[in-house]
Structure 1
Amino acid sequence: METVRGVVELTRPMNAIVGGILTLIGAYVAGGLGVHPTAAIAAGLATVLAAGAGNTINDYFDREIDAINDPERPIPRGAVTPRQALWCSVILFCLAIVLALTLPLMAIAIATVDLLALVAYTKLFKGLPGVGNVVVAGLGGSTFLFGGAAVGSDTLAPVALLGLLAGLTTLTREIIKDVEDIKGDREEGLHTLPIAVGVRPALVIGTVVMIGAVGVSPLLYLDGTFGAAYLLLVIPADCLLIGSALYSFRDPATAQLTTKLGMFLAAGAFVAGRVVG
């Protein structure tokens, strides 16, 4: 039972499920959730499986770092062996690929790029200053675009803007998280952004990126795509996101959690914009 619990924990099931929900939001914002529900559900499940696989392979490669930063993770505490984690990741990736292949060509292309990035992230990109953060940000933003492409929508502009907003806010959150993990990353010889440029300059970069994200959020209201309902939700989301970036200088752990909350509120604004118009 401990091994089963450890395998489930490796996938970070809540994060994976949230990824699937975000894909469905992308399909809805694109106007295709009700038109092509089967494709939307397939895309959502593929996202859940791929996210679980990515989280698992990340723990496989990060097992020595986690022994320092988070020794209660399943591999460091001995609940799951590295080999078991690797096989779990392979199975989940294969299932995600099978589902993705049932979708339109654009969705398959997005899924292919994302899956390759997930596999390569820890070994190739994570330790490069800022590069790993950008890869994760791109994966976060593409989740919405994947949902829109999965339903074959021709109106991807709102989804693309939502993806851009999500990608930029994820970039800031990843920088803040690297500040949290700086001790273990330094001992492993990784050259993350806070290690390369210093903690405060890294947080300044994150704050500037967040300001850029907030700056693009009103565009769909200004061009008439969404109305007042969108604006009423996106303004508090923007305030929360900016506040989180500023608070990261004091408490990075709390700031990255409130940043995630702000991202969900912003996604809700896009849903409200689609519902009300």
Structure 2
Amino acid sequence: MSVTSERYVRRWPDPAALLTLIKPITWFPPMWAFLCGAVSSGVAFSGHWPQLVLGIALAGPIVCGMSQAANDWCDRHVDAINEPDRPIPSGRVPGHWGLWVALAMSALSLIVGWFLGTWGFVATIVAVLCAWAYSAEPVRLKRSGWLGPGLVGLCYEGLPWFTGAAVLSATLPSTPILIIAALYAIGAHGIMTLNDFKALEGDRQMGVNSLPVRLGPERAARVACCIMAVPQAVVLVLLFAWGAPIFAVAIAIALLLQLLAMRRMLGDPKALAPWYNATGVSLYVSGMMVAAFALRGMEAL
């Protein structure tokens, strides 16, 4: 049976397509950021394993999975141009199933967040609202090349980091934790901009003003690199100032390697943006954990 005919015949979604819809490959960044937040809190994991495991599951499969389902539902017309084999435009997730999955997972997110205390629940509410604000009309912040990636960076790195620290410490995280989490969230704007390269043609046709559309691939790539690099430079300067020079040097080395990878990527950003997302981003998130351990030492004092 062809994809076209299946689109009109299928009444129930393909289970494998439902898994594809919530994109497990995207769960790692918020799960890692939540773990960074937990590490940075300075609280021993012993006695807090249930909150830690539940929080990681909430950040990744539940909230991030929900956001992916919501985005695919709201992007089904764009995806029909960019990636027609995706679950919804291909018909493997037919009718309104994509919407129902996103709504059900939104409710599940709030239920699970309730069990993570006041700060965990508040952060979950913010995450769910941001997910729908990013994708759904009439807000649809992804139309903006500045606000869209910024919101995703906040929800992928900053908000999970805050939540991990708040859940384990059962209080508002300290100012240094909030500053470092915010800096890595800002830097993630550049990562999200590079991720927009894969949808360049469809975004142009559908009026999504991503930075690659607005600035062109070359300028957008340079802007993305600056946005990624500058916050990390600020992080290493702060760690030096806060008396954690070894951790600052480790982040400096990771940043230097990223700059070398950026130099190569800028030679052909449209072709090499996916390569950078598989190499430079690994160094970026490694630096996050280094910073988390530096903060952990400070919090333990």
Q: Into which bin does the TM-score normalised by the smaller protein fall?
A: 0.7 to 0.9
Give the 5 Å matches for 1:134-213: 134-140=150-156, 141-151=158-168, 152-153=170-171, 155-213=173-231
CA distance in 2, matches of 1:106, 1:16: 21
Could you tell me how far 1:246 is from its partner in structure 2? 3.5
Summarize deviations over 1:134-186 as a string: whole Å, max 9, x none.
11111122111111111225553443244234213311111122233211111
Q: Is contact 1:210–1:241 with CA below 8 Å preserved after alignment?
A: no
Mapping for residues 31-46 of structure 1, pairs under 5 Å: 31-32=42-43, 34=45, 36-46=48-58
TM superposition shift of 1:206: 1.5
Give the aligned partner of residue 85 of structure 2: 72
Structure 1, unaligned stretches of length 5 or more? none
Q: Take 1:73 and 1:170, find their aligned partners in 2: how far apart are those partners?
A: 25
Q: How many residues align?
A: 276
1:18–1:139: structure 2 CA closer, same or farther, 3 Å change rule?
A: closer
State which drifts further: 202-211 or 266-275.
Answer: 266-275
The Cα shift of 1:256 comes to 2.4
Change (3 A) 1:66 1:254: same
Change (3 A) 1:29 1:127: same
Separation in structure 1 between the aligned mates of residue 194 and residue 29 of structure 2, nearest angstrom: 20
The answer (yes or no) to whether the contact 1:27–1:33 under 8 Å persists in 2 is no
Partner of 2:4: none
Give a deviation string over 1:195-223, Cα, whole Å, max 9, x none. 22333332222222123122222145313
Asked whether 1:50 is paired with 2:63, we answer: yes
Compute the displacement of 1:18 (Å).
Answer: 4.6
Work out whether residues 60 and 82 of structure 1, in 8 Å CA contact, stay in contact via their aligned partners in 2. no
The verdict on how the C-alpha distance between 1:245 and 1:160 changes in structure 2, with shifts beyond 3 A counting, is farther
Q: Secondary structure at the match of 2:112?
A: helix
1:259 aligned to 280, 287, 300, which one?
Answer: 280
Does residue 241 in structure 1 map to residue 258 in structure 2?
Answer: yes
Q: Distance in 2 between the 1:24 and 1:107 partners?
A: 14
Contact 1:27–1:40 (Cα < 8 Å) also in 2: yes
Partner in structure 1 of residue 142 of structure 2: 126
Q: Match for 1:47: what amino acid?
A: A
Unaligned runs of 5+ in 2: 1-11
Asked if residue 231 in structure 1 is aligned to residue 248 in structure 2, the reply is yes
Determine whether 1:268 maps to 2:289: yes
Distance 2:249 2:233 in 1: 16
Bigger mean CA offset, 28-37 vs 257-266: 28-37
Shift in Å, 1:262: 1.8
- 1:103 equivalent in structure 2: 116
TM-score by length of 1: 0.88
Q: Secondary structure at the residue paired with 1:72? A: coil
1:5 is matched with 16
Residue 96 (structure 2) aligns with: 83
Q: Deviations along 1:26-50, whole A, 9 cap, x unmatched?
A: 1121123525333333322221201
Query: Is the 1:210–1:245 Cα contact (8 Å) retained in structure 2?
Result: no
The question of whether the paired residues in 2 share the 8 Å contact of 1:145 and 1:156 is answered with no
CA 174–154 in structure 1, closer or farther in 2 if over 3 Å, else same? closer
- Partner letter of residue 152 of structure 2? V
**Retained in 2: the 8 A contact 1:207–1:246?**
no
User: What residue is the counterpart of 1:93 in the other structure?
Assistant: 106
